[in-house]
Chains A and B, each alone.
Chain A
Amino acid sequence: MNSLVFRLTLPILFGYLPLGMAFGVLFTTQLDYAWWAAPLMGVVIYAGAGQILAVSLLAASAGLLEVFIAMFVLNARHLFYGLSLLGQFRGAGWRKLYLIFGLTDETYSLLTSRARTQDRLHELDVDFRITAFNQVYWVIGCTLGALLGRNVAFDSTGIEFALVALFIVLTIEQFKALGDAFPVWAGAAAAGVAMILLPPAHQLIGAIAIVTAVLLLQYRHLRTKSIAEGHSHG
């Protein structure tokens, strides 16, 4: 099973190692704290953009309330991710807290896009391993970056495109599985609107809020239509 999980998470390895390293390098070159604080943050916080923001907050010795608000707002898009996984995570037992803790953009993408069998317990086990593998990649990246600092020799410029490519592939897979292009176009359009109207830090949450509103309108529209047609299944 681990080799299947490794194959599934390989694109994330290519994304998380360089991004984790970028965070680690930033951490050791910008701050005076011990290097091991960087992997520690990868273990207990585990958020890409969040940890990079944390470096600038640490550098500014920001107040703790400010830290809480900044991290919460930056990660607010995750509020929407759980909605698609309420049923899927049911009965996960002790694994559930970790599955929720590890719900990054990339893990969410894999867990909602991959093919699943009827064997729920087995699938939850695979979900759990995917989440753990991803976090291990991230922590290794944070550690390497923090230890190597400025001495990173390998020119990996551009390798983080693996995550963009992963999102593109998963969009295609989601579209094929649904057989409905509406949410795909709605998502892309919402991203376009958010990118025009909002500064980069708020674009993701803005786009998710817009597309959720669109899906709510679609839901209302479908419901009124099915009631009007007289076969409401309440």
Chain B
Amino acid sequence: MADTVYLAAFVAVAAIATFATRIIPFLFFERHTEHPLIKHLGRYLPAAVMALLATVFLQRSGDWSATVPGLDAILAGMLVVIIHLLRRNALLSIAAGTAAYMLIRQTGILDSGLAG
């Protein structure tokens, strides 16, 4: 019983903390939507955030202890970039990159290929 009470309190606190991070900008900056500084950030921040998310998560999906460190993630990432620049079809680029990454990961093809 005590466990259920703790779990309920835990989930409530975690939910409030997470929601707080998402709603705070709307509470404090709503009146300044037209301020040139907010417009500047609104215009450029998404591109910057996208690039940094891509960089951080690409690094995290790489195997940096492999023969060629990070090659699995870099190859799959480059495939996404190339296919996207050629065809500009988001689903195709994502599917191709993910399939390539899964193949590399599940078969260990990079390491065996380089070793043999």
Q: CB-CB < 8 A to A173: which residues of B?
A: 90
Asked whether A165 lies within 8 Å of B93 as measured between CB atoms, the reply is yes
**Which of A116-124, A133-141, A142-150, A152-160 contacts its partner?**
A152-160
Contact status of A82 and B23, CB under 8 A, knowing A168-B81, A203-B56: yes
B14 within 8 A of A: yes
Asked whether B6 lies within 8 Å of A61 as measured between CB atoms, the reply is yes
Q: CB-CB < 8 A to B51: which residues of A?
A: 171, 174, 183-188, 191
Q: CB-CB < 8 A to A207: which residues of B?
A: 52, 55-56
Asked whether B48 lies within 8 Å of A161 as measured between CB atoms, the reply is no
**Total number of residue pairs linking A and B with CB closer than 8 Å:** 269
Q: CB-CB < 8 A to A172: which residues of B?
A: 81, 84-85
- Residue ID in chain A nearest B20 by CB atoms: A72
Contact status of A187 and B16, CB under 8 A, knowing A82-B26, A83-B29, A171-B54: no
Q: CB-CB < 8 A to A77: which residues of B?
A: 21
Asked whether B25 lies within 8 Å of A190 as measured between CB atoms, the reply is no
Which residues of chain A (181-208) have a CB below 8 Å from chain B? 182-188, 190-192, 194-195, 200, 203-204, 207-208
Contact of B106 among A155, A212, A223 (CB under 8 A): A155
B112 within 8 A of A: no
Q: CB-CB < 8 A to A86: which residues of B?
A: 25-26, 29-30, 32-33, 38, 42
Q: CB-CB < 8 A to B49: which residues of A?
A: 80-81, 108-109, 187, 208, 211
Interface of B is mostly: helix
Which residues of chain A (61-89) have a CB below 8 Å from chain B? 61, 64, 67-69, 71-72, 75-87, 89
Q: CB-CB < 8 A to A223: which residues of B?
A: 36
Q: CB-CB < 8 A to A79: which residues of B?
A: 21, 24-25
How far, in Å, is A191 (CB) from chain B's closest CB?
A: 4
- Residue ID in chain B nearest A54 by CB atoms: B14
Asked whether A67 lies within 8 Å of B22 as measured between CB atoms, the reply is no
How far, in Å, is B97 (CB) from chain A's closest CB?
A: 4
Asked whether A165 lies within 8 Å of B80 as measured between CB atoms, the reply is yes
Q: What 0/1 pattern do residues 95 to 114 of B give for CB contact below 8 A with A? A: 00110011011100000000
The 14 sampled A-B contact pairs (Cβ below 8 Å) are: A58-B7, A71-B18, A75-B17, A75-B18, A109-B50, A113-B46, A156-B102, A159-B98, A167-B53, A168-B93, A169-B90, A190-B52, A191-B52, A203-B56
Q: CB-CB < 8 A to A200: which residues of B?
A: 60
- Residue ID in chain B nearest A155 by CB atoms: B106
Asked whether A158 lies within 8 Å of B46 as measured between CB atoms, the reply is no
